[in-house]
Amino acid sequence: MKTRTQKEHEIEILRKEFQESPNAVLVGFKGLKVGDDERLRRELRQANLSYRVVKNTLAIRAAKGTPMEQVQSNFTGATAVALSKNDPVTLAKVLQKWAKESAVFSFKAGLVEGRAIKGADVEAISNLPSKEELISKIMFVVNSGAQRLATVTGAVARNLAIVVDQVRAQKESQGA
């Protein structure tokens, strides 16, 4: 059993994590096998995401004054919190993959950029393109305009060179 100071220390750690992570998903995992849980944690770590099983009473206390306060009513039953400091889409994709594989894995609620969402919305978020995909699409659009401009301006010089060459060839044929 934890002492009062240990619990207060855990609350402070949780509060700090809740403050620093604007993206979170509350997950129900009752009945999840230990091996599956270890694989899930490994996948989340590789994606640079954090995952923690929480004691509901401590999590509710830690949520006070943080964006997580909006979803604190969902801290019931076996609860884990998956947190992301950067990309909510990657978080949702990894967790959605696990929800498809395991019937005991469920979404309770979440936060996206500090705004509360329902557990059912996590699947919709997982279908969005990732931040990297969106950036690459934007860069393609920006770059394609520059490529077209370069092609058009290059065509003017190329056409001028062709005309000059044709004039030269015509003068040579007239002079010969």
Q: Are the C-beta atoms of residues 84 and 23 closer than 8 Å to each other?
A: yes
* More confident call, 18 vs 87: 18
Q: Give the pTM.
A: 0.70
Whether the per-residue pLDDT at 123 is higher than 90: the answer is: no
Contacts of 106 (CB under 8 A, 6+ apart): 27, 28, 29, 99, 119
Domain residue extents for the chain: 4-128, 129-176
| CATH topology classification for 4-128 | Alpha-Beta Plaits (3.30.70)
Whether the per-residue pLDDT at 104 is higher than 70: the answer is: yes
For 34-44, how does the pLDDT look when each residue is reduced to its tens digit (9 = 90+)?
Answer: 888 888 889 88
| Per-residue pLDDT band at 83 (split at 50, 70, 90) | very high
For 141-169, how does the pLDDT look when each residue is reduced to its tens digit (9 = 90+)?
Answer: 888 888 888 888 888 888 888 888 888 88
Looking at every residue in the chain, the average pLDDT score rounds to 87
